Structure 1
Amino acid sequence: MRDSRFGNPERESEVPFKPHSSHWGVFSARMIDGELEVRPYEGDPDPNQIIENFPGALRHRARIAQPMVRRGWLERGPGPDEKRGQDEFVPMAWQEVLDLLGRELVRVRDGFGPEAIFGGSYGWSSAGRFHHAQSQIHRFLNIACGGYVRSVTSYSSGSSQVLIPHILGNHEELAKHNVTWEQVEKDSEIVIAFGGMALKNSMVAGGGISKHVERGVMQRAAARGCEFILVSPLASDLPEEARPEWVSLIPASDTALMMAMVHTLVVEGRHDRAFLERYTVGWPTFERYLLGEADGIPKDAHWAAPLTGVPADAIMALARRLHGKRALVVVSHSLQRARYGEQPVWMGMVLAAALGQIGLSGGGYAYPLGAIAYYGRRKNAVKLPTLSQGSNSVREFIPVARIADMLLGPGEAYRFNGKTLTYPEIKLIYWAGGNPFHHHQDLNRLKKAFAAVDTLVVHELAWTATARHADIVLPCTMTLERDDIGGSSNDPLLVPMRQIAPPYGEARDDFAIFADLAERLGARDAFTEGRTVRQWLEHLYEPTRLGLVQLNLPAPSFEDFWESSGILVPQGPDDGGNLRAFREDPLASPLETPSGKLEIFSETIASFGEADCPGHPAWLGSGYLPTESAPLVLVSNQPRTRLHSQLDFGGHSGSGKHRGREIASMHPKDAAERGIADGDIVRLFNERGACLAAIALTEDIRPGVIQLPTGAWYDPADPTEEKTLCVHGNPNVLTEDVGTSALAQGCTGQLTTVEVERFDGNLPPIRAYDPPLSLPAPASHLDG
């Protein structure tokens, strides 16, 4: 059926609003006298203001207007070069730069094999199903180059994506088809959220989202009498509409708190023995550890109190409150983005199992509810448009957060998911979609890693730090500058993403760039399959239309869909997914684990022999103990005014800064000890680097903790220095580039330790959005 909640703007103006979508929400837009206007989807009860970044970003000076080649690479040819990130750029014509790049791809492909090419595409790129940078680049590399070295897992959930298949089954099924917000609103009696469910996180979703329901659900559930308990060092990790009770704890101590709560349930006979016996394996082994019979250390509330900062009596009272109620245990992505990040995810499942709640409506275990907007929703009942990426002949891969390790240590061995693997030797990185100078940790180390390759190619719409470190920069269109189809697997609205504005400068679609490049490698027809963009959109839409036909539902033609404001596709039942089916009949519906049950002790993981991830949940320490030189724990979490680093130069993102700097939150007690006042510019520093930020004082943060969101574009005061100061406030100059454990090698960028001091020097200017220096192309090159 058609959706008409964009209204009828044609009656309001001669220039109609056209539907579009983004990861932070469905919206519509139009151009009036060269200015962009945006407005949220009328059916959204709580629209995301991040769409306000579009007007200022569309024609911003940070946009890339034409193809650029780094001067040093152009003059000296491919090879390692520490000048990346410092060099000037030379503008080139499209045909010339594609000829140049085509020859370089052939050199690497034929001389070293496709296993010397890293297909670096990590990030959210576009909500469109066709102009999805990751799909486009992988399709191109598979078809034109024979494959590429890929990355697996994600920066957001790297440790849980490896752990959960061993202990709970399918990771995506758990996240996307489990406890829904409908169940929380109707049935949950108490929700304990370790790491919280911050609305800034659930405002975004891959493919877009039409209705942001989280705030309203929590408000209505709280009004009904549902209790929300927030366990976090930050009071802002649950909205005030949930009326949360804040349990302020020491960062990275959640596992200890959960263990002490389960210990209380066990010694008081409040745990569900029947559930544990029927639905789990390994409980007796874990129970011996929990009670201290295995190591002489009972994991009780008195043991946990100094580790967590939560009084023993409060821990025991918390456990008792959960008993006998429809209790939901939530663990956020953030907890597993730290050293030993597998442990809180595993222990959260054990807590829910001990309560006997897993599989019940509104109860049990809901990792990671609230982390992304499509979690907690019903799954669509028809197939979404999806671009085939082809087949990759290269078997080598890396965990996504180990890119610097790979580039700095080719041939070195490492452990991952029970196997010993070897880092490949990469000659060329081709990056389209994403900004590793946002996602990755220890940016000074990443700079060295990027200096080690022969060639770095980047498709970008703006001069991110990644583009500044590239050898060949190809300007691509912004989502508003092309046609596409928007949709998410857990949202019913399929949106015709109509082009709103012409491309900026000489920017081209990724598809057009890859098609012309594939021609130079003899693979244009195979890559394009002879289709134009419009024909591709029609082709990708057809399976969705046929899915509607098979369900005897209205199935608009592509032409009708394209002229509409979007169509609503059917969604599946709110049936609790695999965990509900498993609870109702564990023999008929076993989990996708080795035992078919919930694995409190995993024989498989134990057999790997990893000291930092044993066979059952264990307290391995926090990994972030304050020191004299770094006494504060830094929480480096997701920003409120943008998605990761996307459109950081937009107006809404800029409104969340002070004096051009990202804002760090700090407790007044910690600030007073350092002579810091509200609004001051401070320097955060540790052994890895330093950055500037503005300070906002608040009592909604635990003393001893400072919070600085990610996403401010890396802006080095002196790019030639090894550990230069980031003047803009990028916390990843401070975070540590190590894996969560040898099991998962996930990202540990959520936490680190730092010191903070007031910055009293001359304030350096923000240059992150200024295009780098460019020079005219050398005549000898143009003539040759």
Structure 2
Amino acid sequence: MRLTRRDFIKTAGAATGTLAITSAIPMPAWAEGPAGGAILTAGRWGAMYVEVKDGKIVSSKGALPKTVPNSLQQTAPDQVHTTARIKYPMVRKSYLENPGKADGKRGNDPFVRVSWDQALKLIHEQHSRIRSSYGPSSIFAGSYGWRSSGVLHKAQTLLQRYMSMAGGYAGHTGDYSTGAAQVILPYVLGSVEVYEQPTTWPMILEHSQVVVLWGMNPLNTLKIAWSSTDEQGLEYFHLLKKSGKSVIAIDPMRSETIDFFGDSATWIAPNMGTDVAMMLGIAHTLVKKGLHDKAFLDKYTTGYPQFEEYLLGKTDKTEKTAEWAAGISGVPAEQIEKLADIFAGNKTMLMAGWGIQRQQYGEQRHWMLVTLAAMLGQIGTEGGGFGFTYHYSNGGNPTRVGGVLPAISAQIAGGSSAGNDWAVSDAVTSIPVARIVEALENPGGKYQHNGKEQTFPDIKMIWWAGGGNFTHHQDTNRLIKAWQKPELVVISESYWTAAAKHADIVLPITTSFERNDLTMTGDYSNQHLVPMKQA
């Protein structure tokens, strides 16, 4: 079925065309809240009503109407009242006995409760000593990781603002989520792209004929957003399922998304990590059958002739046929050839996730997907091309141009981070986030990154706030060993995470339910402004 604009408006249940094009579910602003005067607030999993009795959170539910439920919106009581909460400032026993030269090993020592005055005095004295002895580059406050919603209480940003006022710090570049893709794509597309707003969903629902979900699980990852989810991404996937359009899901695992679409989608499960080979097999079939758009390639791209020589095996004596791709990916050659026919014969939207590039040579995945989209010649057309943010933060929900809350900045000379927390400011030096272990192992060592030779700082102090690197980082045993080298490790945390257990000093911090703030929903849409009232 091909949805017309009129059909789409009917499906969305809108009173006017304008509402239909700006929201999947343009219902009354808020769903009916629970009885008893619940508190309106928000988290990264959306706007919520939180019910409090006798000073304790007893229930929470989503505040926006929805078709697809979000189980995370019911977890506020557990988040606040779990026994894993850090309740007091704590110092590792041997560090307290001999600050800066502690015996024992991080991760093994017991912790001792201290007062806030003791903890802050200890941090200040050791911070001052390390800064004056080794300089600002010795203090790592890159503090990459998750954070709570809100334009003020952004742990990473506040830490870096403080460190900027103190004279600078060693920061980070990039992130774990898109580290390889965001380095390669500026050379391919002229922008970082993996964080850009893609073709909007109303265009897809009206014009796309085939939607490909390549290495993405939106039914899981759209439960949250970087600031707070506007909840429209899941609703749009619900409308996609109802539309009758051809949906092809390419994923080695049977994910929640595969189950959600069921018989209304075709599931293809290649071998893990063989996406590029499969794409090359499709590309080769396009050339063999003359289905690639030569006019588009000539007008809008550079470098295609060199790529085609590689594709046809003229440079390495290996032709990237569908049979060759089948031998690597495990997907039958006939199916790979059929995909080429389907992609070229229809208005096709290639949606891809970030997970496929979180590996060695990961930059090739997104680079090749853009190449394949260029060969189809549909980039920039209504409902065709590619997009990398449909699976996170509700990419594709149209952007509003009304009032947008500015956020507190890591910069001390004014300015706003505008929500781009991955663009770190006021660091005297920065390392790629995933090379923190190498920096600790090899201080002053040289390394290559993005075409340049750089030098690792000699890190003597780490302060991490708003994220858990022990769950992000690869090779945890190597991380634990390198983590013993700094003279001071401070962790600001709500819970006894692995990172907190490997600190010298642990400072307890509030959850977003325990303070006042404001947030926008929709990192791309700016759909709502939500008061985050202290519960």
Q: TM-score, normalised by structure 2?
A: 0.88
In the TM superposition, 1:151-300 aligns within 5 A as 151-172=172-193, 175-214=195-234, 216-236=235-255, 238-242=257-261, 243-300=264-321
Query: Is the aligned partner of 1:461 residue 2:494?
Result: yes
| Secondary structure of the structure 2 residue equivalent to 1:281 | coil
| Secondary structure of the structure 1 residue equivalent to 2:283 | helix
Deviates more, 1:384-393 or 1:485-494: 384-393
**1:233 aligned partner, one-letter code:** P
CA distance in 2, matches of 1:424, 1:474: 25
Query: Is the aligned partner of 1:22 residue 2:57?
Result: no
Q: Give the corresponding residue for 1:414.
A: 447
> Does the CA-based 8 Å contact 1:404-1:445 persist in structure 2?
yes
**Counterpart pick for 2:160 among 127, 135, 138:** 138
In the TM superposition, 1:232-631 aligns within 5 A as 232-236=251-255, 238-242=257-261, 243-370=264-391, 372-381=392-401, 382-390=403-411, 394-487=427-520, 488-490=522-524, 491-500=526-535
| Secondary structure of the structure 1 residue equivalent to 2:59 | strand
**2:175 aligned partner, one-letter code:** S
> Does the CA-based 8 Å contact 1:44-1:210 persist in structure 2?
no
CA distance in 2, matches of 1:224, 1:74: 63
Q: Give the corresponding residue for 2:416.
A: none
Deviation for aligned residue 1:193:
2.1
Deviation for aligned residue 1:287:
0.5
Shift in CA distance, 227/8, structure 1 to aligned 2, threshold 3 Å: closer
Q: Give the corresponding residue for 1:42.
A: 64
Deviation for aligned residue 1:218:
3.3
Deviation for aligned residue 1:247:
1.1
**Structure 1 runs (4+) greater than 6 angstroms displaced:** none
CA distance in 1, matches of 2:490, 2:232: 37
Cα deviations by residue, 1:270-294 (Å, 9 ceiling, x for unpaired) = 1000000011000001011101111
**1:5 aligned partner, one-letter code:** W
CA distance in 1, matches of 2:309, 2:102: 54
> Does the CA-based 8 Å contact 2:277-2:325 persist in structure 1?
yes
Shift in CA distance, 421/81, structure 1 to aligned 2, threshold 3 Å: farther
Shift in CA distance, 356/61, structure 1 to aligned 2, threshold 3 Å: same
> Does the CA-based 8 Å contact 1:41-1:210 persist in structure 2?
no
**2:487 aligned partner, one-letter code:** D
CA distance in 2, matches of 1:127, 1:26: 10
Q: Give the corresponding residue for 1:51.
A: 73
Cα deviations by residue, 1:91-117 (Å, 9 ceiling, x for unpaired) = 111112211111111111111111110
| Secondary structure of the structure 2 residue equivalent to 1:277 | helix
| Secondary structure of the structure 2 residue equivalent to 1:238 | helix
Shift in CA distance, 453/81, structure 1 to aligned 2, threshold 3 Å: farther
CA distance in 1, matches of 2:104, 2:452: 33
Cα deviations by residue, 1:323-357 (Å, 9 ceiling, x for unpaired) = 12101112211110112101110010011111111
Deviation for aligned residue 1:213:
3.5
CA distance in 1, matches of 2:233, 2:181: 25
**2:275 aligned partner, one-letter code:** D
Deviation for aligned residue 1:177:
1.9
> Does the CA-based 8 Å contact 1:414-1:420 persist in structure 2?
yes
Deviation for aligned residue 1:268:
0.9
CA distance in 2, matches of 1:454, 1:3: 55
Shift in CA distance, 7/238, structure 1 to aligned 2, threshold 3 Å: closer
> Does the CA-based 8 Å contact 2:175-2:433 persist in structure 1?
yes
**1:75 aligned partner, one-letter code:** E
Which 5+ residue runs of structure 2 have no aligned equivalent? 1-26, 413-424
Q: Give the corresponding residue for 2:32.
A: 7
**2:456 aligned partner, one-letter code:** Y
Shift in CA distance, 37/225, structure 1 to aligned 2, threshold 3 Å: closer
Shift in CA distance, 222/77, structure 1 to aligned 2, threshold 3 Å: closer
Shift in CA distance, 186/175, structure 1 to aligned 2, threshold 3 Å: farther
| Secondary structure of the structure 2 residue equivalent to 1:314 | helix
> Does the CA-based 8 Å contact 1:305-1:312 persist in structure 2?
yes
Cα deviations by residue, 1:437-488 (Å, 9 ceiling, x for unpaired) = 1111111111111101100001111111111111111111111110001114
| Secondary structure of the structure 1 residue equivalent to 2:248 | strand
**2:135 aligned partner, one-letter code:** G
Deviation for aligned residue 1:199:
0.9
> Does the CA-based 8 Å contact 2:219-2:260 persist in structure 1?
no
Shift in CA distance, 79/182, structure 1 to aligned 2, threshold 3 Å: farther
> Does the CA-based 8 Å contact 2:136-2:428 persist in structure 1?
no
CA distance in 2, matches of 1:4, 1:271: 46
CA distance in 2, matches of 1:458, 1:241: 39
> Does the CA-based 8 Å contact 1:271-1:354 persist in structure 2?
yes
How many residue pairs were aligned? 492
Percent identical pairs in the alignment equals 37
Shift in CA distance, 253/336, structure 1 to aligned 2, threshold 3 Å: same
CA distance in 2, matches of 1:67, 1:125: 20
**1:119 aligned partner, one-letter code:** A
**2:272 aligned partner, one-letter code:** P
Query: Is the aligned partner of 1:83 residue 2:105?
Result: yes
**Counterpart pick for 1:67 among 76, 89, 109:** 89
Deviation for aligned residue 1:42:
3.2
Q: Give the corresponding residue for 2:417.
A: none
> Does the CA-based 8 Å contact 2:207-2:347 persist in structure 1?
yes
Shift in CA distance, 79/414, structure 1 to aligned 2, threshold 3 Å: farther
| Secondary structure of the structure 1 residue equivalent to 2:404 | coil
RMSD between aligned alpha carbons?
A: 2.0
> Does the CA-based 8 Å contact 1:189-1:225 persist in structure 2?
no
Shift in CA distance, 406/80, structure 1 to aligned 2, threshold 3 Å: farther
Shift in CA distance, 87/3, structure 1 to aligned 2, threshold 3 Å: farther
Deviation for aligned residue 1:205:
0.5
> Does the CA-based 8 Å contact 1:134-1:433 persist in structure 2?
yes
**1:76 aligned partner, one-letter code:** N
CA distance in 2, matches of 1:118, 1:493: 35
Q: Give the corresponding residue for 2:123.
A: 101
> Does the CA-based 8 Å contact 1:47-1:211 persist in structure 2?
no
Deviation for aligned residue 1:220:
3.1
Deviation for aligned residue 1:82:
5.6
> Does the CA-based 8 Å contact 2:72-2:223 persist in structure 1?
no
> Does the CA-based 8 Å contact 1:18-1:28 persist in structure 2?
yes
In the TM superposition, 1:664-675 aligns within 5 A as none
> Does the CA-based 8 Å contact 1:43-1:210 persist in structure 2?
no
Deviation for aligned residue 1:4:
4.6
> Does the CA-based 8 Å contact 2:212-2:349 persist in structure 1?
yes
Deviation for aligned residue 1:125:
1.7
